[in-house]
Amino acid sequence: MSGKNFKMLSNPFNLQNPVTVQILGICSALAVTVKLKPAIVMGLSVIVVTAFSNLVISWMRNSIPPRIRIIVQLVVVATMVILVDQVLRAFVYDVSKQLSVYVGLIITNCIIMGRLEAFAMGNKPWPSFIDGIGNGIGYAVILIVVATVRELFGSGTLLGFKIVPQAFFDAGYVNNGMMIMPTMALILVGVIIWIQRSYFKQLNEKE
């Protein structure tokens, strides 16, 4: 992989992160991060959908009439989402149930439309595919970090396994009910943005 392509893969991981820098896809980041397992599955689904929609739209980009491009993009994204949804239902039914409408709502995830409009419409298929994977990973990473904190402190487990020892609970430790609520996910995303901005000064707006 050339250096340019690698940059497209790694940029969304940090300096162009779709969630913490572009503030896209917040809604699902709050909704599916109570437990780690749904968050991982959601992250994977979004990676697949962004990558393949980017690929398909990039192939079609020269034949899409500009006036109706949004509806064409939506059709492609919706097709991908339905495919992913069917796969999830077939192989991980319980997780698919937990994710409920949020898999369907990937269609409206701003990250995907944003990448289609900003990247796939003007670039060749292979770079578009890489860009899709990169942005999907950027989204998935934030989801996994938030979900890890929320599940650990909200339920005392990780991926369903007990992590906080029983001795803690005997000593008076109580799971934090606030972590179960979407409020805390928003605060956690805010904390990630805070930490990221204080490390990478170039992210701060110039006054």
Partner 1 sequence: MKSLRNFLDKKKPLFLPGGKLSKFGSTFGAFETFLFTPNHTSKTGSHIHDTIDLKRTMTVVIIALLPTLLFGSWNIGYQNGLAFGVERSIIENFIFGFLKVLPIMIVSYGVGLGIEFIVAQIRGHEVNEGFLVTGILIPLILPVNIPLWMVALATAFAVIFGKEIFGGTGYNVMNVALIARAFLFFAYPSEMSGDLVWVYDLAGNTPVDGFSGATPLAYAAQNASSEIASFKDMFLGLIPGSIGETSTLAVLIGAAVLIFTGIGSWKIMLATVLGTLFMGGICNLFPANEYMSIPAYTHLVMGGFAFGAVFMATDPVTASSTEKGKWIYGFMIGILVVLIRVFNPAYPEGMMLAILLMNVWAPLIDYFVIEGHVKRRLKRAKIKANA
Give the shortest CB-104-to-partner 1 separation in angstroms.
29
Using CA atoms, how far apart are residues 113 and 86, in angstroms rounded to an integer? 21
Other CB atoms closer than 10 Å to residue 96's CB: what's the count? 20
Smaller CB distance to partner 1: residue 5 or 176? 176
**Contact window for partner 1 (CB under 8 A) among 20-28, 67-75, 142-150, 177-185:** 177-185
* Segment 186 to 205, residues that bind partner 1, using CB under 8 A: 187, 194
**Minimum distance, C-beta of residue 164 to partner 1, in the bound complex (Å):** 14
Task: Using the minimum distance from each CB to partner 1, give the nearer residue, 76 or 188.
Answer: 188
Question: Token match 């796939």: residue?
Answer: 120
The answer to whether 152 contacts partner 1 (rule: CB under 8 A) is no
Query: d(Cα 148, Cα 159) in Å, to the nearest integer?
Result: 9
- SS3 category, 161: strand
CA 120 to chain centre: 18
Q: Quick one: which of 179, 185, 189, 192 contacts partner 1 (CB under 8 A)?
A: 179
Q: Please report whether residue 177 would count as binding partner 1 according to CB under 8 A.
A: yes
CB of 178 to partner 1, least distance (A): 4
* Interface with partner 1 (CB under 8 A), residue from 174, 201, 205, 206: 174
DSSP H or E stretch at residue 162: strand 161-162
Number of residues that bind partner 1 (CB under 8 A): 10
As a 3-state breakdown, the chain gives helix, strand, coil percent values, each rounded to 5, of 75, 0, 25
Minimum distance between the CB of residue 95 and partner 1, rounded to whole angstroms?
27
Interaction of residue 168 with partner 1, rule CB under 8 A: no
Q: From 26, 29, 27, 34, select the one nearest 176 (Cα to Cα).
A: 34
Which residue, 126 or 194, is less far from partner 1 as judged by CB?
Answer: 194
Whole-number Cα distances in Å, 52 to 65, 132, 136: 20, 7, 11
Residues that bind partner 1 (CB under 8 A): 172, 174, 176-179, 181, 183, 187, 194
